[in-house]
A and B are shown apart, each in its own frame.
Chain A
C-alpha cells in the first residue's frame, strides 16, 4: 500500500532552532553563526574580537569541532565563557547541540554569543541553529573562486569577511572575482577585508557588530 503524507522531516530540528532563538531573545543576546572552511581564521578572529568588544560588551562562545578542545583553550584565554562541542563524526553543528551548549553558559549580562561552526562550507549552511545572523569567512589562501562554488553558504550571509588580506599580493588574489560572484548571490551582505596580522579592517568589523547589537537592543 502507498500512504500519502506531508511531513516535515526536519520538524524536530527546526523546532529546536526556533526554541534556541527564543531563549537567546529572552536573554537579550545577539547570536552569530560563524561559518567557513577549516583554517580560514574563525578562532583567531574571535581571539581578537572578544577583547576588543570587552569594554562595553560581554561575549560567550560555543565552538564546534570534530575533536579536541584546542579552540576552547585558545578562546578561554580571552576571558569569555566558552563551551566546546565535539561533534565526533558530525560535519556541522545541530540545533540540539547548540541547545546543550547554551545549557552550559550563563547568559546573564552576555551581549554576544558567537557560535563557531565546524569548518565546512557545505553542511553547516543547511541547518538553522537558532542564530540571528550568519557571518561567513573566506580566507585568501582558499582561492578567489569559492563564492561561486559554495553559493548557498554565501547567499545566507549577513556579512562576508575576507580574511588574511595581507596575502593578497603574494597570492595574486582576484578580489573583483569575489565581488562579481557575490553580486550574483547576495548584495545585502557587506564584504569586509580583514587581516588579523596587520589589523586591517578589524575596526570596521567591530563597528558592524556594535551596530547590529544596538539594533537588537
Chain B
C-alpha cells in the first residue's frame, strides 16, 4: 500500500492547484504513473479518498494512466522499452539497463468547480 505515500504528495499538489484557481470543489484529478512505480489505481483512489476527506477534493475521482518504461542498455547503448517482467536488451541479450523513464508520478490535470461556476449553477 505504498499508494498512501503517493497520495500524500498528490493531495498537496491537487489542493494547491485548486486553491490557486479559486476552486471550491475538485471533481477529477488525472495522474500519469510510470510502470515501475507499481501503482494500483484502486489503492491510489482509496488512499486519496482518506486524505481528501473534509477538503475541496473530497469525492474527487483519481484517473490513472500508466506510462511505459524506457531504458538504455549499459552494455551496447541501445534504447528500448522493457516491460516490468522483461528487461532483456533486444540488441545484445543482456539485462543491464539504465532507466530513462518509468519512475515518475505526474499530476497532469485537475478538473474543478470555481465559485463563479457554482453561481452559474444556482442561477
Contact = CB atoms under 8 A, between A and B. Distances in A.
Interface string A85-103: 0000011101000000000
Given A5-B108, A91-B1, A152-B84, A183 B95 contact: yes
A72 to B, nearest CB: 23
Q: Secondary structure at chain A's binding surface: helix, strand, loop or mixed? A: mixed
Nearest to A125: B38
Nearest to A13: B9
Contacts, number: 98
Nearest to B36: A152
Size range of the chain A interface in the assembly: 20 to 34
Given A127-B2, A151-B84, A152-B36, A1 B117 contact: yes
B74 A5 contact: no
A185 B5 CA distance: 26
B46 interface: no
Interface in A117-138: 122-123, 125-127
Contacts of B96: 186-188
Contacts of A170: none
A1 B107 CA distance: 16
Interface of B: 1-2, 4-6, 9-10, 12-13, 17-18, 21, 23, 31, 36-38, 74, 84-88, 94-96, 104-114, 117
Interface of A: 1-13, 90-92, 94, 122-123, 125-127, 148, 151-152, 155, 183-188
